[in-house]
Structure 1
Amino acid sequence: MQQYVIIAQDGTDEDALERRMLARPFHLAGAKKLKEQNNFVVGGATLDEEGKMRGSIMIVQFETKEDFDHWYTNEPYIKDGVWKTIEVKSFRVADV
C-alpha cells in the first residue's frame, strides 16, 4: 500500500468555518468508508488558539496512485472548497 499524508488549511474568509461545517457530515462519512476499506490510517482537525477547526491532517493509504487520485478528486473538503491550501506527501507509518 502507498501511504500519503495530507496537510490542509481551510480558507481564512469569514465563511470558512460555515463551509467546513456544511461539508463535514459528507467528509466524515467518506472517512468512515475509507476506514472500512482499510484506506484511512488516522486523521483529524487542526485547531486555532480558540479551539476552532481551521484545517486537517490525514494519513491515508491506497493500493495504487489512481485509487488515491480518485478519492482525492471526490473528497468533499476539496470539492466544496473547504481546504484552500493542500500539501500531499508520500508517507510511511513507522512499524514499531
Structure 2
Amino acid sequence: MPHFCVIAHDRPEPGRAERRQGSRRPHFERMKPAVERGAVLFAGSMLGEDGAMATSVLIVDFPDRAALDAWLAEEPYLRDGVWGQVEVKPMFVAVDGKGITPAWLDLMRKVPPA
C-alpha cells in the first residue's frame, strides 16, 4: 500500500495547548486501532520554540489518498480545531522499525553496479 507523510500544523491562536490537551484522549483513542492494524507507522509532534507541541507528523500506510482523507476527516484534532493547515505528501519508505523495507531492496536491485 502507498505510504504518506502527514504534517499537521496546530492553529497558532492563543489556547493552542488547551485545545490539544482537551482533544488528546479522543485523538489517542482514534489513533490506537490504526496503529494496531499497521496503518500508522510513526507519529509524533514537532515542538515549537516554546517547547510545546506545535505540529503533528505521521507516516501512514493507506490503500490510497482517498482512504487517508476519509480517515483524517474523522480525526479529533482536525474536528476540534487543534490542527489548522494539514499537508499530505506521498512517501517512499526505505527503512522502517523492522529495518530495510522490501521496496528499498527492490529498488536497489534495479540500480546498476558501480
TM-score above 0.5:
yes
Larger Rg: 2
RMSD value, Cα: 1.3
Normalising by structure 2, we get a TM-score of: 0.77
Normalising by structure 1, we get a TM-score of: 0.90
Q: In the aligned structure 1, how far is the partner of 2:14 from the partner of 2:70?
A: 30
Counterpart position of 1:45 = 45
- Read off the aligned partner of 2:53 and give its amino acid letter: M
Q: When the two structures are aligned, how many residues end up with a matched partner?
A: 96
Q: 5+ unaligned residues in a row in structure 1: which ranges? A: none
Query: Aligned pair 1:83/2:83, yes or no?
Result: yes
Query: Aligned pair 1:27/2:33, yes or no?
Result: no
Q: In the aligned structure 1, how far is the partner of 2:69 from the partner of 2:50?
A: 34
**Runs of 4+ off more than 4 Å:** none
Counterpart position of 1:2 = 2
Q: State the Cα deviation string for residues 53-79 of structure 1 (Å, max 9, x = none).
A: 111101111123332122011011111
- Read off the aligned partner of 1:23 and give its amino acid letter: S
Q: Which has the higher contact order (CA 8 A, sep 6+)?
A: 1
- Read off the aligned partner of 1:35 and give its amino acid letter: V
Q: 5+ unaligned residues in a row in structure 2: which ranges? A: 101-114
Query: Aligned pair 1:14/2:14, yes or no?
Result: yes
Residue 52 of structure 1: CA displacement? Answer: 0.7
Q: State the Cα deviation string for residues 18-61 of structure 1 (Å, max 9, x = none).
A: 11111111111222111111101101011123321111101111
